[in-house]
């Protein structure tokens, strides 16, 4: 058991340590076992005021594990419109440093440091909207989808929500009871279609992996609305989302109506290719953050963020794989090579935004403004 993983709850306000901008100290209200390998962590609202977040966004949890400060991003499973306390769901990963420590050690009353919620896997809710929100989830990918589903059902009485949810078996279905209740309470507007890899003998639903045929068949069975009134959200393992994307593309669904949230990245593979396709050599970069200007040299094999952290510059970051955008900055001069740009929208890329955690300088005049 690692010492210093969680802070003890402070009893005197004067004893509560100050936190940096964008950081929060939050007290764990409750830890709920969702499945054998997944927990939901509910947080008390801090004394400073209610935490503001959008459905689909995520917290970055910070913990000292084995003497090193670790950060991991976890999506909020709660709705800012429905739930009093924000919560994230954490599923154990084999060899997962943070997920296993949280599952083994975290308890009510512990205080954790977190980064304020961020993320672009969001939509705008309006009581006048009349649309069909179709969600594709796999395993723990249900987490942000649950937040979106609850929010839509609460805020858009004219809208419908459908969830296609793939899991290994019935025991691995996260939020199983909550989904059943949500479907019962909104029988005319919310429908869940489960896909199980290993189904019990009495199972009457889809079995095996999620396929294009299952997706096509399911979409045809769901309530139909005009094509421009249907939006698609997906979150889950990469291969599953590849299948969903291909299926929607084959059905001529415009990309603008498809939203994707990734928990993992193939930045490592892209990084290897980058060394071949572009000349990545040692170059000096300038990073402007929090009103200060920092200059340092980034070596081949390093990213702009990695080198900045080595220089003890307190730059913002979370996933370090180009997905969460916590480190996002604007490249106002020069050119960089990104190993992964999935976290940025086309508009952000056109405006010059980059992700320092997966970026390498390609010219001598790189200047990045963060924040």
DSSP symbol at 1: -
Query: CA-CA distance, 328 to 317, in Å (whole number)?
Result: 8
Buried b (16+ CB within 10 A) or exposed e, 2-11: beebbbeeee
List, as own/partner pairs, every contact residues 30-36 make where C-beta atoms lie below 8 angstroms and the sequence separation is at least 24, other chains included: 30/85, 30/108, 31/106, 31/107, 31/108, 32/87, 34/89, 34/174, 34/175, 35/91, 35/171, 35/172, 35/173, 35/174, 36/171
Q: In the 8-state DSSP scheme, what is residue 84?
A: S
**CA pair distance 232, 3, nearest whole angstrom:** 43
Q: Which pLDDT belongs to residue 287? A: 96
Domain 13-118, CATH = 2.40.30.10
pLDDT-based confidence at residue 273 (cuts at 50, 70, 90):
very low
Within this chain, domains 132-261 and 267-370 share the same CATH topology? no
pLDDT at 346: 83
**DSSP per-residue letters across 216-233:** HHHHHHSPP--GGGEEEE
Rounded to 10°, the helix 212-221/238-250 angle is: 60
Q: In the prediction, which pLDDT does 4 show?
A: 37
As given in the structure block, the two tokens for residue 61 are: 């949890």
Alpha helices in the chain (DSSP H): 97-105, 142-155, 176-185, 212-221, 238-250, 267-277, 304-310, 346-350
Spatial contact of 227 and 252, defined as CB atoms under 8 Å apart: no
Q: Which helix (H) or strand (E) holds 6?
A: none
Query: Residue 48's pLDDT is what?
Result: 87
With bands split at pLDDT 50, 70 and 90, how would you rate the model's confidence at 324?
A: confident
Q: What's the average model confidence in pLDDT over 53-74?
A: 92
| Residue 210 near residue 240 (C-beta atoms within 8 A) | yes
Q: Return d(Cα 278, Cα 297) in angstroms, integer.
A: 18
pTM over 0.85: no
Q: Would you say 258 and 339 are in contact if contact means Cβ atoms under 8 Å apart? A: no
Residue 241: the pLDDT is: 93
Structural contact between residues 230 and 256, judged by C-beta atoms closer than 8 angstroms: no
**What are the residue ranges spanned by the domains of the chain?**
13-118, 132-261, 267-370
The whole-number average pLDDT for the span 66-77 is 92
- Please measure the distance between the N-terminal and C-terminal CA atoms of the chain and give it in whole angstroms: 36
Looking at residue 20, its pLDDT comes to: 67
Rounded mean pLDDT, 137-164? 97
| Fold designation for 132-261 | Rossmann fold (3.40.50)
Of residues 93 and 152, more confidence is placed in 152
Range from 188-192, 224-228, 233-237 carrying the lowest mean pLDDT: 224-228
The 3-state DSSP class for residue 238 equals helix
Listed residue (108, 89, 78) closest to 38, CA to CA: 89
Q: How much of the chain, in percent, has pLDDT values that exceed 90? A: 74
pLDDT at residue 276, as a whole number: 38
Q: Evaluate if residue 16 carries a pLDDT over 70.
A: no
Count of positions (residues) in the chain: 371
Helix axes 142-155, 176-185, angle to 10 degrees: 20
Please compute, for residue 314, the number of CA atoms within 13 A of its CA located in the half-sphere on the CB side. 9
pLDDT of residue 242 exceeding 70: yes
Mean per-residue pLDDT over the chain, rounded = 89
Q: What local confidence, expressed as pLDDT, does residue 3 receive? A: 33
Confidence of residue 21 (pLDDT cuts 50, 70, 90): low
Please provide the CATH number assigned to the domain covering 267-370. Answer: 3.10.20.30
List residues bridging with 190 in a β-sheet: 161
What's the pLDDT band for 274 if we cut at 50, 70, 90? very low
What pLDDT shows up at residue 353? 94
| Each residue's pLDDT tens digit, 287-296 | 999 889 999 9
């Amino acid at each position: 058991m690692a010492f210093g993983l969680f802070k003890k709850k402070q009893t005197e306000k004067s004893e509560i340590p100050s936190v940096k901008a964008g950081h929060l100290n939050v007290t764990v209200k409750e830890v709920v076992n969702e499945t054998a390998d997944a927990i939901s962590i509910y947080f008390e609202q801090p004394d400073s005021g209610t935490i503001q977040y959008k459905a689909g966004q995520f917290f970055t949890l910070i913990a000292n594990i084995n003497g090193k400060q670790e950060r991991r991003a976890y999506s909020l499973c709660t709705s800012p419109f429905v739930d009093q306390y924000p919560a994230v769901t954490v599923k154990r990963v084999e060899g997962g440093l943070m997920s296993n420590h949280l599952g083994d050690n975290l308890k009510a009353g512990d205080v954790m440091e977190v980064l304020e919620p961020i993320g672009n896997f969001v939509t705008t809710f309006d009581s006048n909207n009349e649309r069909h929100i179709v969600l594709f989830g796999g395993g723990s990918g249900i987490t942000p989808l649950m937040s979106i589903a609850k929010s839509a059902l609460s805020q858009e009485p004219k809208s419908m929500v459908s969830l296609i949810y793939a899991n290994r078996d019935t025991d691995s279905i996260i939020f199983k009871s909550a989904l059943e209740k949500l479907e019962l309470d909104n029988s005319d507007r919310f429908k869940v279609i489960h896909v199980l890899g290993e189904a019990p003998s009495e199972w009457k639903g889809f079995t095996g992996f999620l396929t294009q045929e299952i997706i096509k068949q399911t979409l045809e069975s769901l309530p139909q609305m005009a094509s421009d009134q249907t939006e698609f959200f997906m979150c889950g393992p990469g291969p599953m989302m590849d299948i969903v994307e291909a299926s929607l593309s084959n059905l001529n669904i415009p990309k603008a109506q498809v939203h994707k949230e990734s928990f993992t990245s193939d930045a490592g593979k892209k990084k290897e290719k980058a060394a071949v396709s572009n000349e990545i050599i040692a170059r000096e970069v300038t990073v402007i953050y929090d009103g200060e200007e920092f200059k340092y040299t980034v070596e081949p094999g390093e990213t702009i963020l990695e080198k900045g952290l080595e220089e003890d510059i307190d730059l913002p970051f979370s996933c370090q794989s180009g997905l969460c955008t916590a480190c996002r900055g604007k490249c106002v001069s020069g050119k960089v090579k990104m190993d992964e740009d999935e976290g940025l929208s086309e508009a952000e890329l056109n405006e010059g935004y980059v992700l320092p955690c997966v970026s390498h300088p390609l010219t001598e005049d790189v200047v990045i403004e963060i924040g």
